[in-house]
């Protein structure tokens, strides 16, 4: 079982938006609409920021501003979605291999998991630090499959994510996909990706996967 992190296991949207607004106001004087930022949520931060920066130097400065600000407020603003810890524990009790496949940097991803109390049941974290081509490219999913010895049977793996980028990456890697509509993306955007399953809550994955 593979999970995205932001918007799937961890409720981090307000943290992300606050960090975005602060960064844009610092460098551009004002923040473009939240919708513009959220449209690319699920891709690496450096790629998101490059769309707003007027030069590579400004993009690097924006990245520093964003990460510094986020680091200062992170722990008080992130929390797990309801049932996340219980679902992960139940999956591991069944013998499932559980990985997080995220576009976050590994340092931040692991901090989020720790703060949310989810680290213990995560066997593997694949971040944007591990790949050259992040989601929606399937490289990160292939990486997780290989690391866990599951690359011969990707269809036995379910990849749960809240963004179109998650669903595209999972499908391209040959896994089954499940849409999590409690994240930042509208239901219609997820339906357009034609996931194998559409969840209503995290515990639904326990009905999909065999006991």
Query: Of the residues 4, 6, 121, 162, which is catalytic?
Result: 4
Over range 65-80, report the average pLDDT.
96
Q: Where are the alpha helices (DSSP H) in the chain?
A: 13-28, 34-38, 45-50, 56-77, 84-93, 106-115, 139-147, 164-173, 187-191, 205-208
Cα–Cα distance for residue pair 65/58, rounded to 1 Å: 10
Architecture of the 13-77 domain:
Orthogonal Bundle (1.10)
Task: Please list the residue range(s) of the chain that carry CATH number 1.10.150.
Answer: 13-77
**Structural fold of domain 2-11+80-208:** Rossmann fold (3.40.50)
pLDDT at 189: 95
Are the C-beta atoms of 42 and 103 separated by less than 8 Å? yes
pLDDT digits (tens, 9 = 90+) for 10-54: 999 999 999 999 999 999 999 999 999 999 998 999 999 999 999
Please indicate whether residue 114 is annotated as part of the active site.
no
> CATH 3.40.50.1000 residue ranges in the chain?
2-11+80-208
Query: How much is the average pLDDT of 102-112?
Result: 95
User: Is residue 210 over pLDDT 70?
Assistant: no
pTM: 0.92
């Amino acid at each position: 079982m593979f999970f995205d992190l932001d918007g799937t296991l961890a409720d981090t949207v307000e943290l992300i938006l606050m960090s975005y607004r602060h960064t844009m106001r610092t460098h551009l004087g004002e923040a473009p609409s939240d919708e513009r930022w959220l449209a690319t949520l699920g891709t690496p931060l450096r790629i998101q920021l490059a769309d707003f920066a007027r030069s590579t130097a400004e993009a690097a400065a924006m990245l520093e501003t964003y990460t510094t600000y986020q680091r200062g407020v992170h722990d008080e603003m992130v929390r797990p979605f309801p049932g996340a810890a219980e679902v992960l524990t139940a999956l591991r009790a069944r013998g499932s291999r559980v990985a997080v496949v995220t576009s976050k940097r590994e340092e931040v991803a692991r901090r989020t998991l720790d703060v949310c109390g989810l680290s213990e049941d995560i066997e593997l974290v694949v971040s944007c630090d591990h790949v050259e081509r992040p989601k929606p490219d399937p490289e990160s999913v292939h990486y997780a499959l290989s690391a866990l010895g599951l690359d011969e049977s990707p269809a036995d793996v379910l990849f749960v994510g809240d963004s179109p980028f998650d669903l595209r990456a999972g499908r391209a890697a040959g896994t089954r996909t499940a849409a999590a509509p409690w994240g930042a993306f509208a239901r219609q955007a997820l339906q357009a990706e034609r996931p194998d399953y559409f969840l209503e809550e995290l515990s639904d994955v326990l009905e999909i996967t065999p006991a």
